[in-house]
Amino acid sequence: MAIWRTTPASLATPNAPDAQPSGLARVESLPIEFIPFYWNTPWGSPNASEADRLWENINTAHGHIAIDHEFAAKNHWPSSMDIPGKPGKGLYLLQAYHQLHCLRIVRAAYLTLKRQELPIFPSDHVLHCFDAIRQHIMCHADNTPLYGLGHGIAGDGQLHQCRDWNALRDYATKNTACFRDGKPGMSFEDRFGVCDDGTDGLEERGPVLPVS
């Protein structure tokens, strides 16, 4: 497995052509915002009816985008499949939405076992998602120092530097592939051609502090 590492000089100018390997897809930087992370939120509520509603409302298919093949090639994006009914456009899935897709699957698998219900997803898909989340965490290597007070809770309410999720959602909306999650009996081609309303179920993230 090859790992491309930067030098101090390339880190100083991360947008310079020689600061990136040729196989890395070039994308625009998202705006920065500062958000406190909390130990207890409705997403982790033991109240199943409350938490399940939030997780089930996440539309990870919103992250599928349609991009011109010419633009993709110019910006070092790997070649991707053609979108049915959209000549010249390739289908891509934004990484953050893939991670959310996997997180939903891992949560569903855990709750299925806890509730002693029949498995919803194949075990190989669940295991892939565990590893996909591991790779993503290691890739970003967040070195925020979390405070602790000796009560088993780390960093409650502490500020984090984040990328603007609203900007990512808007980008996906602007370039939508009009792709939806599949249902039993639905062909892959049938999943195209129905656009969502521009929401992904994550419009409310909690308090956000402005960049000073």
pLDDT (tens digit per residue) in 180-200: 987 777 788 889 989 999 999
- Contact at 8 Å (CB) between 73 and 88? no
Structure tokens at 132: 């996909």
Confidence check: pLDDT of 1 > 70: no
Q: How confident is the model at residue 47 (pLDDT cuts 50, 70, 90)?
A: confident
Q: Which residues contact 44 (CB under 8 A, 6 or more apart)?
A: 51
Q: How confident is the model at residue 46 (pLDDT cuts 50, 70, 90)?
A: confident
- DSSP assignment letter at 63: G
Give me the amino acid identity at 183: K
- Separation of CA 4 from chain center: 23
Q: How confident is the model at residue 22 (pLDDT cuts 50, 70, 90)?
A: confident
Q: How confident is the model at residue 210 (pLDDT cuts 50, 70, 90)?
A: low
Average pLDDT over residues 47-58: 92
Structure tokens at 83: 């979108």
Nearest alpha carbon to residue 178 among 64, 12, 25:
64
Confidence check: pLDDT of 40 > 60: yes
* Cα–Cα dist 163/142, whole Å: 13
Tens of pLDDT, residues 157-181: 999 999 999 999 999 999 999 999 8
The pLDDT score that the predictor gives to residue 203 is 85
- Contact at 8 Å (CB) between 110 and 118? no
Q: In what order do the strands lie in the sheet with 64-68?
A: 64-68, 86-93, 82-83
The per-residue pLDDT of the chain, averaged, comes to 88
pTM above 0.95, yes or no: no
